[in-house]
Amino acid sequence: MRIIVTGAAGRLGSHLVRLLRSRGHDVNGLDMMAVDDITRVDITDFDAVHRFIYAHRPEVIIHPAAWTDVDGCARDPERAIIVNGLGTQNMALAAAAVKAAVVYVSSNEVFDGKSTRPYYEYDATHPINPYGYSKWVGERAVMSLNPHHYIVRTAWLFAHGGKNFIQAILGAAQAGKPLRVVTNEVANPTYNDDLAEALALLIETGRFGIYHFVNEGACSRYQFARYFLDKAGYADLPVSPIAAQEWPRASTPPAYAAMRNLAGQHIGIVLRPWQDAVDAFLEKEGLLRVGE
Q: Which residues are catalytic?
A: 131
Largest CA distance in the chain: 57
Q: Are 75 and 250 in contact, with CB atoms under 8 Å apart?
A: yes
Instruction: Tell me the C-alpha distance between 79 and 153, whole Å.
Output: 21
- Expressed in angstroms, the distance from the first to the final Cα of the chain is 39
CB 64 within 8 A of CB 31: no
Answer yes or no: are the C-beta atoms of 5 and 58 closer than 8 Å.
no
Q: Please state, as a whole number, how many other Cβ atoms lie within 10 Å of the Cβ of residue 20.
A: 22
46 Cβ neighbours under 8 A, 6+ residues apart: 90, 93
Q: Which of 103, 101, 33, 22 is nearest to 64 (CA)?
A: 103
Q: Which residues pair with 39 in a beta bridge?
A: 30
Residue 152 pairs with which residues in a beta bridge?
105, 211
Whether 150 and 220 have beta carbons less than 8 Å apart is answered as no
